[in-house]
Chains A and B, each alone.
Chain A
Amino acid sequence: MEIPFVVEPRKDTGLNNSKIGIWLFLASEVMLFGGLFSGYIFLRIYADYPWPERTLPVLPGLINTFILIGSSVTVVFAWVSLKLGQWRKFQVYMAITIVCAALFMVLKGIEYNAKFAHQAIRLDDYTVVEGHAHPQGGSHDYHAPKKNFNISAESVQINLSRVDDAYYEVMGKQYADGGMVLANKLTLNDGEVFEKGTAISKELIDRAKVDYLAAAANNSEIDIELGREAWAALKPKFPGKRYYEAVEGSKTLSEVVSAYTKELKKHRKEDYQTTTPNLIFVPNTGSASITVNPYWGKLSNPKEGDKGTLKLKDETLISGVTGDSSIALAIDGIDFRHTVMKAEEKGIDPAAAVANSWLLKDEKINKIWKKHQLITSKLKVLLEEDGREPTENDIYRINWQEIAGLQETDIADLEAMDYHDILALYPGDVEGFAGPDHKKIHYPEVIVPREQVRFESVFSPRWNTYYATYFTITGLHGLHVIAGALVLAYYLFFGRKMFEQRPEWLANRVEVGGLFWHFVDLVWIFLFPILYLM
């Protein structure tokens, strides 16, 4: 059957099938990205933390903009070539378009990779420090944990209804290595006995879990049965009464039923089974060192040497003495804006709040801050000539260029220098293409004790709403780039036959693919200034 309107337009709409299809799709895309942009705008306007403005390295974004604009031109040229019946030219232009798409995604990958390797910590006093986390305990092994919770465990309590296989798989080895054994004798309902001192094992936990769940199910079944019996016995005695209405003095119907159920239970004691909801293990050596990914649980008292409890997300409780859970951070960014915001909220002098911050107790960082204050004072004088003043960003944020550029310069030398001469010392955009390069520049390292950490994350969607929207919108846009490139590549590699038989049809298809590609470019035209420059 011949499909109508694949080439010639329908009379009522004036459009062929694919054209109307793509515009319907693009209209839905406008709404999708429109909604996401709206989300971004309102998250930014109502943000309860200083927004990280102009925080992304501009160069990759700028190059990507050029790439997308260039590919928009080549895709339209590819279509023109088809219209003019020039297959070879079409191939060249389309190939360039697809290479552009690939380049775009490579740059995006470099950017994302830099973000995921970049650590941020919000300190207890709301100072934000950024940098690269080094392995804990001064280890030189690159793959060693960088921010684990460490605890010298004196007991491990496993919650049998919540214990999770994925957690136990990783933790189990540590428990076994630490010599964890049963703290108390365990008798199961089928009579099997595990003596005190039995070594921890998956089999033991699974056995106990099955036994506990079966016993709990059995007991609750009896409870339900007796509850029903009680209601059936008592309801006719108090006709028309609701459960919350008083029936015997001040006692409600439901209270009377409960009391009766309790009586019934006394006669069924032998049917109830013993339930052991938690298993407690202790190390046979006194203590066992346990290390846990910080996203797996919460450490109640993170101060090293204090008694602490580590609660995993599967309700496993590891109690003992908190070990070194600090984060060694090579600092490439310091931001006091949140400290200032919080101080203002509390009516405290922001300058004093910054001066008293934990971070500035470190001599190296204090030196950097003093240099920064000097630079800000020079900037202030310079701006005053134009009737302007430094922004909060200028005053309270130290970026990686400043830390890297002024490492070797003494504060006394800076005093004698002009503001613009100081800026000339900073590394350029190319050196920090996708952010600070820790392989080339050695940044000052600070050990941040865990009790000073309010929140920590790499620059992932977890860090703040800015990065959450950044990754959502650019990620979705990236998927559009990939999808568009696949469609265009299909025309390039499988279009020859159609070009020979129905060239008009292929031209229509390419036009429609091109329309989608232009839309992808159009979205990026807004994304680039909004995410990178504002």
Chain B
Amino acid sequence: MADSPEAIKKHIKLYTLIGAVLFVCTLLTVAVAKFEFLDFGQRGFDSVDAIIGLLIATFKATLVALIFMHLNHEKKMVYWLFGMGLFFAFCLMAIFAFAFSDPIEFQAFFGR
């Protein structure tokens, strides 16, 4: 990353801006869950709300990762390490999914 004092000074504004965006996005997440006129899909919590909420959260997390954690300009090795972590986290989720879709749970598999 750019480590010279001049380059770092330039980043201060960006960090403040990202902080502000994160604050606003947090308020937006709450607003989407609380206000009727921002409640998309059916009334109350449903899959549409889950998608919207998680999209905002993912956007916020991406900002934190890219800007605060400097992942927008890191060395290749860091991407490998973090990428592997994410990959195996998804593998874990897949294992859960396989466990839950175990055919032994379904009556149709062995007959009633």
A80 lies within 8 A of B33 (CB): no
CA distance A132 to B45 in the complex (A): 28
Please, how many angstroms separate the alpha-carbon atoms of A388 and B42 in the complex?
Answer: 7
B23 touches A30 (CB 8 A): no
Q: Is B82 an interface residue (CB 8 A)?
A: yes
Stretch of A66-74, A233-241, A284-292, A316-324 with 4 or more beta carbons under 8 angstroms from chain B: A66-74
Contact between chains at A529 and B61 (CB < 8 Å): no
Instruction: Give bound CA distance, A42 to B3, whole Å.
Output: 44
Please, how many angstroms separate the alpha-carbon atoms of A519 and B57 in the complex?
A: 14
Give, as a whole number of angstroms, the nearest-CB distance from A300 to chain B.
34
CB within 8 Å of B: which A70-114 residues: 70, 72-73, 76-77, 80, 83-85
| Measured CA separation A522–B57 after assembly (Å) | 9
B89 with A31: CB separation less than 8 A: yes
**Number of A interface residues in the complex (CB < 8 A):** 60
A contact residues around B45 at 8 Å (CB)? 53-54, 391, 534
Query: Binary interface profile of A, 380-414, with partner B (CB < 8 Å = 1, else 0)?
Result: 00010000111101100000000000000000000
Instruction: Report which of B23, B29, B49, B100 forms a contact with A528, defined as CB distance below 8 A.
Output: B29
Q: Are A394 and B43 in contact, CB atoms less than 8 angstroms apart? A: yes
Beta-carbon contact of A20 and B42 below 8 Å: no
Distance of A39 Cα from B100 Cα, bound (Å): 11
Interface SS of B by simple majority: helix
Bound together, the chains give a CA A393 to CA B50 distance in angstroms of: 17
B112 at the interface (CB under 8 A from A): no
A15 within 8 A of B: yes
Q: Could you tell me if B30 and A69 are in contact, using CB atoms closer than 8 angstroms?
A: no
A20 CB contacts on chain B under 8 angstroms: 77, 81
Residue in A33, A34, A390 with the greatest tally of chain B CB atoms within 10 Å:
A34
Contact between chains at A529 and B19 (CB < 8 Å): no
List B70-112 residues whose CB lies under 8 Å from chain A.
75-78, 81-82, 84-86, 88-90, 92-93, 96-97, 99-100
| B59 to A: closest C-beta gap in Å | 9
Asked if B76 and A14 make an inter-chain contact with CB atoms under 8 angstroms apart, the answer reads yes
Contacts of A80 in B (CB 8 A): 8-9, 11-12, 15
Known: A15-B78, A62-B30, A69-B23. A526 touches B88 (CB 8 A): no
For B57, the chain A residues whose CB sits under 8 A away are 525-526, 528-530
- Give the distance to chain A from B74, nearest Cβ to Cβ, in Å: 9
Q: Do A34 and B75 form a contact, CB below 8 Å, given A73-B19, A533-B53?
A: no
Question: Is there an interface contact between A533 and B96, defined as CB atoms closer than 8 Å?
Answer: no
Interface of A is mostly: helix
CB distance from B43 to the nearest CB of A (A): 5
Please, how many angstroms separate the alpha-carbon atoms of A519 and B78 in the complex?
14
Asked if A42 and B19 make an inter-chain contact with CB atoms under 8 angstroms apart, the answer reads: no
Q: Is A13 an interface residue (CB 8 A)?
A: yes
B1-44 vs A, CB cutoff 8 Å, 1 = contact: the mask equals 00101001101100110110011001001101110000000111
User: Which parts of A24-53 form the interface with B (CB within 8 Å)?
Assistant: 24, 26-31, 33-35, 37-39, 41-42, 45-46, 53
18 of the cross-chain contacts (CB-CB < 8 Å) are: A14-B75, A34-B92, A37-B93, A38-B89, A42-B100, A45-B100, A53-B44, A80-B8, A83-B8, A85-B5, A389-B43, A518-B64, A521-B64, A525-B22, A525-B61, A533-B29, A533-B32, A534-B45
- B-side residues, CB < 8 A to A, are 3, 5, 8-9, 11-12, 15-16, 18-19, 22-23, 26, 29-30, 32-34, 42-45, 49-50, 53-54, 56-57, 60-61, 64-65, 68-69, 75-78, 81-82, 84-86, 88-90, 92-93, 96-97, 99-100
- Give the B-binding residues of A (Cβ under 8 A): 9, 13-15, 19-20, 23-24, 26-31, 33-35, 37-39, 41-42, 45-46, 53-54, 58, 62, 65-66, 69-70, 72-73, 76-77, 80, 83-85, 383, 388-391, 393-394, 514-515, 518-519, 521-522, 525-526, 528-530, 533-534
* Nearest 5 A/B pairs, CB to CB: A34-B89, A27-B85, A391-B44, A30-B85, A14-B75
